[in-house]
Amino acid sequence: MAAVRQDLASALPGVSAAAPPRPPVTIVPLRGLPIVVVVIALLIASIAADWRWAINFFHVAGGGLWTGIDLFVGLIVGPILGRMSVPARVEFSTRFMPKMLLIMPTLVTITLASGWQLAHDLGLLDSGYYRHGWVVASFIVVGVMAVIAIGILEPANLAVLFELKKPQPDGELIGRLMRRFVYTAAITGLMQVATLVIMTRLAI
């Protein structure tokens, strides 16, 4: 453990040998996988059985959590993280990023799949629907968010995790990638507000 501390101390400026031990780095928290499997199985069962309440629940709960987490991480956690010391950022990232790697794709999948099914059941996908323009607008917003999230946010998340696994992680690289993660989370969070506007327009 002392050796790890010494490695970190030599790798990251501002880290003393007395710094707290770095927690072991896990890329995917395996203990969370059964929960993901159960959630996805319930979603598939709800869609197959056309269980309207459950589909609605998945869409509202998934969408609410997705929006809330994006906004919270981007606008609250991000600025705090930016002011933390590099070792503190490393320790936070080590514990935080693996969880995000499991939570966010699951939330996105259940929100989109249940949302599509709900829109289909309610006839909102029909191009003759009088507010069809709003539905198409939601497709576009989700498409742009997907490009940002998958193209920038998720690669940064993964790259940080693999950097943290190195015996001597590059603190500057981690800081840069974390900033990218937080900024893109903030952008997608703000775009989620546009989604909220669209969804509430459709709900009237």
Residues that bind another protein (CB under 8 A): 28, 40, 43-44, 47-48, 105, 109, 112-113, 116-117, 120, 125-127, 132, 135-136, 139-140, 143, 146-147, 150-152, 154-156, 158-159, 162-163, 173, 176, 180
Nearer to another protein by Cβ, of 18 and 48: the residue is: 48
Residues 6+ away with beta carbon under 8 Å from 65: 107
Nearer to another protein by Cβ, of 17 and 41: the residue is: 41
Residue carrying the six token digits 């968010």:
145
Structure tokens at 119: 């829109």
Query: Shortest approach of another protein to residue 125 CB, angstroms?
Result: 5
Nearer to another protein by Cβ, of 19 and 175: the residue is: 175
Which residue, among 96, 108, 67, 111, has the nearest Cα to 181 in the 3D structure?
Answer: 96
Nearer to another protein by Cβ, of 92 and 116: the residue is: 116
Query: Shortest approach of another protein to residue 60 CB, angstroms?
Result: 18
Query: Shortest approach of another protein to residue 154 CB, angstroms?
Result: 6
Q: Please give the Cα distance from 190 to 31 (Å, whole number).
A: 31
Nearer to another protein by Cβ, of 92 and 129: the residue is: 129
Nearer to another protein by Cβ, of 71 and 170: the residue is: 170
Query: Shortest approach of another protein to residue 204 CB, angstroms?
Result: 21
Query: Shortest approach of another protein to residue 42 CB, angstroms?
Result: 13
Query: Shortest approach of another protein to residue 100 CB, angstroms?
Result: 14
